[in-house]
A and B are shown apart, each in its own frame.
Chain A
Amino acid sequence: MALSLIGAGSSIKSITLVAILVGVEQRLAEQHGIDLSLMDERAMSQSRSPFRTIGTLTDYLEALMRGKTA
């Protein structure tokens, strides 16, 4: 089963999700020199949150990074 980050199936508090997302942004910047804002209008405007599971978050990150390098 996919690990849920938000919603009923998740044991992660929303505040922990904030810390995870901020941590991912910082690792990308520090270790890979990639400046990305995960919590921008695109993420907020999607009807299904990209932060639902580790899998959807990874897909979203890949899409953002493709956009950066395209």
Chain B
Amino acid sequence: MSEEQKRVALVTGSRTGIGRYLAEHFLNSGLSVVGCSRTPSDLVAPGYQHHLVDVGDETQVVEMSRAIGRQFGRLDILINNAGIASMNSALLTPLSSAESVLRTNFLGSFVVARESAKLMMRHRTGRIVSFSSVAVPLRLEGEAIYAATKSAVESLTRVLAKELVRYGITVNAIGPAPVKTELTRSIPADQMTALLEHLPLPRFTTLEEIAHVVDFLIHPSSDGVTGQILYLGGAG
């Protein structure tokens, strides 16, 4: 397949964790992949390029999006994955911490989706997959701000799905149960066990399971699947 015909995927937060796994998964599937994070990535592979971009910074996101437009003339898939967490009692959460979680998780998802949709409109096709969490339906104590930003991502997903359906763009979100990544590393083992016990399927979600759901959502035959939030671990 020629370079121009390859599907192009943008994966935000591709330096580590779920984003890194999905970037490599797409590369193995023959896609061109653009990734980003605030700090440099050690992923070097044919078909992969990395941008140093903070998704909460509109100017940086617009510049990255224009670079994708100039280089590929298209964008087929957006994995709106960059996210941070701050586990704390709501009463002990400083506004600055809440603001930074909101900026990355919600405003970042919004601005990346907005700019990506403009690129996808060119070919009247596209797939946007954002990241929510089981923290939303489980209403976990200590995750008020994180869960609230993910609720906002869910609302954004549902409304964007309606606005973009006429351009052939689907918009969905995945809500994984806990995954073993940097994000969850600092949660003490006893707290994690208690958290998992809230789930009908009380175990970690694997990266392979996430890739499987992503593959379904981005499949060319999934044109009719939009505005959905798909939880893992039996939550929701």
Contact = CB atoms under 8 A, between A and B. Distances in A.
Interface of A: 15, 19, 22, 25-26, 29-30, 35, 37
Contacts of A30: 69
B52 to A, nearest CB: 19
Interface in B82-129: 118, 121-122
Contact of A29 (B69, B121, B166, B167): B69
A29 B62 contact: no
A30 B166 CA distance: 24
B131 to A, nearest CB: 25
Contacts of B69: 26, 29-30
Given A26-B69, A29-B66, A35-B66, A15 B118 contact: no
A19 B121 CA distance: 8
Majority secondary structure, B binding face: helix
Interface of B: 62, 66, 69-70, 118, 121-122, 163, 166-167
A29 B163 CA distance: 24
Contacts of A29: 66, 69-70
A29 B66 CA distance: 8
Contact of A26 (B62, B118, B163, B166): B118
Contacts of B121: 19, 22
14 contacts: A15-B163, A15-B166, A19-B121, A22-B118, A22-B121, A25-B118, A26-B69, A26-B118, A26-B122, A29-B66, A29-B69, A29-B70, A35-B66, A37-B62
B168 to A, nearest CB: 12
B119 to A, nearest CB: 9
* CB-based closest 8 A-B pairs: A22-B118, A35-B66, A22-B121, A29-B66, A15-B166, A29-B69, A37-B62, A26-B122
A30 B73 CA distance: 9
B209 to A, nearest CB: 35
A8 B136 CA distance: 42
